[in-house]
Amino acid sequence: MSALEPILLTIITASTPLLLAAIGELITERSGVLNLGVEGMMIVGAVMGFAITAMSGSPYLGVVASMFAGMAMALLFGFLTLNLMTNQVATGLALTILGLGLSGMLGEAFIGQPGIKLPVLHIPGLSDIPFIGTVLLSQDILVYISLALVAAVYYFLFKTRAGLVIRAVGDNHTSAHALGYSVLKVRYLAVLFGGACSGLAGGYLSLVYTPQWVEGMTAGRGWIALALVVFASWRPLRLLVGAYLFGAVSVLQFHAQAAGIGLPSQLMSALPYLATIVVLVIISRNQAVTRANTPACLGRPFSPDR
């Protein structure tokens, strides 16, 4: 093992929850729905993942549970904003507050219990290749899922008809409706996908990152994921860059501190945010392209009857 490998492994661990939550929110927002409840869906995913794992002994069941927990929260959000047409921003914030409180209540029995870690999936032959195998191909299933999702979302959004429909609904829901697409159905599916991904991101926290349940363990990662989606101008590959950049800088600044490079630690803690914003702003500097990528109907409610 070279010195680089453990650092890369740590970076992957730090980036994966952000990437998972953000890729889900990207689809949600592409359909024109702004769900600010990522943090809340994540933390409920985290507690359910931990709880089911603790009760069943199987972290894989935990992963599934975290996904469904995130979806359940998203379903509530969908019902409120899509059917009852509540304000999306306010409902999203409420979802976060609800999630933080609810998870504290659900998790009470599991405090102080050591967790079970999601095992690494060894791919026979491939996992033993030096470097590439030991770093990239010796991960748990959620890391593979997160990377596969980026590729799948990219292909889906830009190369398939269904992706085109999602983008159409997000850009101009009236026209999409006039063309005969069910705006609400498309948005429901997008919101649920976002919830599933946020739930998985939470599960990653309580099953891989720090295998334990403690209240508030998302510590603001949902908000970072939300910001990443915007700064990546709703493009999946830029999101991948952004999430890994953020993870890399936040891990590397710890290494720099431990090595004693002598910069103020406050500045070092701000570095991941600064670096990610600067890089993503530079990538997205072409305004015309950014505007084209921004879902024009983002946050606007749609009623088929009006």
Which residues lie near other proteins (CB under 8 A)?
A: 3, 6-7, 10, 13-14, 17, 97, 100-101, 104, 107-108, 111-114, 205, 209-212, 214-217, 219-221, 250-251, 254-255, 257-260, 262, 264-266, 268-269
Nearer to other proteins, 13 or 88 (CB): 13
Measured between alpha carbons, how far is 43 from 203 in angstroms, rounded to an integer? 8
> Do residues 212 and 115 lie in contact, with contact meaning Cβ atoms separated by under 8 Å?
yes
Nearer to other proteins, 33 or 98 (CB): 98
Q: Which of 49, 39, 44 is nearest to 18 (CA)?
A: 39
How does DSSP classify residue 140? B
Residue 62 CB, nearest distance to other proteins (Å)? 17
Q: How far is CA 119 from CA 28, 63, 140, 199, in A?
A: 30, 12, 6, 19
Torsional sign, CA 302, 191, 289, 162? negative
Residue 216 CB, nearest distance to other proteins (Å)? 6
Residue 300 CB, nearest distance to other proteins (Å)? 27
Q: What single-letter amino acid sits at 198? A: S
Residue 180 CB, nearest distance to other proteins (Å)? 43
Residue 203 CB, nearest distance to other proteins (Å)? 14
- Three-class secondary structure of residue 137 per DSSP: coil
Q: What single-letter amino acid sits at 4? A: L
Nearer to other proteins, 10 or 182 (CB): 10
- Three-class secondary structure of residue 126 per DSSP: helix
Tokens 């592409």 belong to residue = 30
Residue 265 CB, nearest distance to other proteins (Å)? 4
Please give the structure tokens belonging to residue 169.
Answer: 């609904």
- Three-class secondary structure of residue 306 per DSSP: coil
